[in-house]
Amino acid sequence: MRRNIVQQSLIVLLVIVFLVPMLWPLAQAQDTTTEPSPTPPTAPGNAPSATISDDAKPVLDAVVDAYSQLKSLSLEGKATIDFDVNQRKMNQTTTSTASFLAPNYFRHEVPGEYSAGSTGKEIYFHSTKGNVYMKAVAPEQKVTSNQLPQPLNNILQTEDPALLLATSADPRRELVEGASSISLDPPVTIDGQSYQSLHLVMRNGPEMNLDIDPATHLVRRITFNLKPILEAQGAQDIKQAQAVIDYTKVDAQSELTADAFAWSVPEGARDIAQVQAEQQARAKDPSAAVKEWEGKTAPDFTLPDIDGKQVALKDLQGKTVLLDFWATWCGPCVVSMPHLIDTYNQKSAQGLMIFAVNIGEEKEQVQKFVNEKGWKLPILFDHDSSVAMAYGAEAIPYRVLIGKDGKVRKITIGAGESAMSDMDKAVEAALAE
């Protein structure tokens, strides 16, 4: 059964993407397997009927009516996650904008990251960094979230619940499904204004509060208590586990027109279906993907090192460069790192530059891990994984050797003896050029 939109909010997604690796690193660091590590899986949940208290019913009814009757809506949102769990910390904020025009125009955008929406004729998604897109015929009227194609379904459910309530044909179902109980908490004050607060207890998710404007009956803020999820994941030391989606702008009087929702395929963008087909082919034959890259010019990038200094590949022209994409939770990465450090110590005097490119983890977490291991190696931070994606790193450890002419000489995946031996030979050849 489809999960409640709030249960599948931005914060739950961020827990899956960021927190699961945070909870598993010590166990995975002890894993001595040499196979590359995939992304940790997620699991769906069920959503039985909710028990709704008498005082919560009129507030919930007013919210449902308000979103059902909206003609237009403009939003600005700020999502903040704040974790201090098992001595691993994360504080991250994402901003977004959104708009809606009845019956079937909408747009959600995270600046510099992606945009998604409906032009009234087409539903689309475009990743700015990956420059990939999808599009499909748009429904002529409102539909429920489970009737939207991916990734639109997940984007609205996970990152913009208020926009989904506006666009949905059944806001009540989107809100209630998946909750075990809904009650009314005492009012809360935000920026000097009093808001009603609906408290939802989810059967397969966090407890949360939806703070409602009593005048418009629209959501202003969603606060998540993530402690139950973390305890279920096995976390013991939970000092902070809260996340908030704060709609800093909620305007139901926007004078929007259909032209504001126009969109066309950006220049050079690739269809996601084509990219997925290529990924499936690579999964069947990883060596084929590696061979595709060898001999091609390496994608340029600029990433911060552990001291905050920006390192740009274009500034390393004429050097032999080895990139090692890794993470602290990746057992094979940890097992193979000492060999990489030995290579760095032996070959740096000959002009070899090695960078351990950490994927998606916070600097403090990585620095502590590296210090505990006693590793001495230049580290770069690919916080949003955009560089890893640009190099086709779908499993780690993923190592890329770039020659003095800026072209890819060798790529190896995993930490097996053959992979390390092949890279050692390629390094020797590249240095001799």
DSSP 302-365: EEEBTTS-EEEGGGGTTSEEEEEEE-TT-HHHHHHHHHHHHHHHHHGGGTEEEEEEEES--HHH
Q: Which residue has the tokens 């069920």?
A: 46
Say what the pLDDT of residue 31 is. Answer: 36
pLDDT in tens, the chain (433 residues): 233 333 333 333 333 333 333 332 222 233 334 444 443 333 334 445 789 999 999 999 999 999 999 999 999 999 888 878 777 777 788 899 999 999 999 999 998 888 999 999 999 999 887 788 899 999 999 998 888 888 888 888 778 899 999 999 999 998 898 889 999 999 999 999 999 999 998 877 778 899 999 999 999 999 888 887 777 777 778 888 888 899 999 999 989 999 999 999 998 888 888 877 766 666 666 566 566 777 888 988 899 998 889 999 999 988 999 999 999 888 889 999 999 999 999 988 898 999 999 998 888 889 899 999 999 899 999 887 888 888 888 788 899 999 999 999 999 888 888 888 989 999 999 998 8
SS3 category, 157 = helix
Question: Alpha-carbon dihedral of residues 236, 239, 240, 241, nearest 10 degrees?
Answer: 10
Query: HSE-up of 145 (CA within 13 Å, CB side)?
Result: 30
Contacts of 138 (CB under 8 A, 6+ apart): 104, 118, 119, 120, 121, 122, 123
DSSP assignment letter at 191: T
Task: Delimit the CATH 3.40.30.10 region(s) of the chain.
Answer: 285-432
* CATH 2.50.20.10 domain locations along the chain: 10-261
According to DSSP, the residues that pair with 185 across neighbouring strands are 197
The structure tokens listed for 379 are 């580290």
User: In the 8-state DSSP scheme, what is residue 259?
Assistant: G
The span from the CA of 366 to the CA of 370, in Å, is 6
Task: For residue 262, give every residue at least 6 positions away whose Cβ sits within 8 Å of its Cβ, in sequence order, or none.
Answer: 119
Predicted pLDDT of residue 281: 67
The CA distance from 80 to 222, in Å, is: 11
Give yes or no for a contact between 305 and 378, defined as CB atoms under 8 angstroms apart: yes
- Cα–Cα distance between 80 and 78 in angstroms, integer? 6
> Which parts of 86-192 are beta strand (E)?
88-101, 105-110, 114-119, 122-127, 132-137, 179-190
Do the strands 132-137 and 122-127 form a parallel or antiparallel pair, or are they unpaired? antiparallel
What phi and psi values does residue 346 have, to the nearest 5 degrees?
-80, -30
Q: Identify whether the C-beta of residue 4 lies closer than 8 Å to the C-beta of residue 179.
A: yes
Class of domain 10-261: mainly beta
Q: What CATH number does the domain located at 285-432 have?
A: 3.40.30.10
379-400 tens-digit pLDDT: 999 887 888 888 888 788 899 9
Instruction: Locate 233 and state its tokens.
Output: 């994941």
Amino acid at 421: S
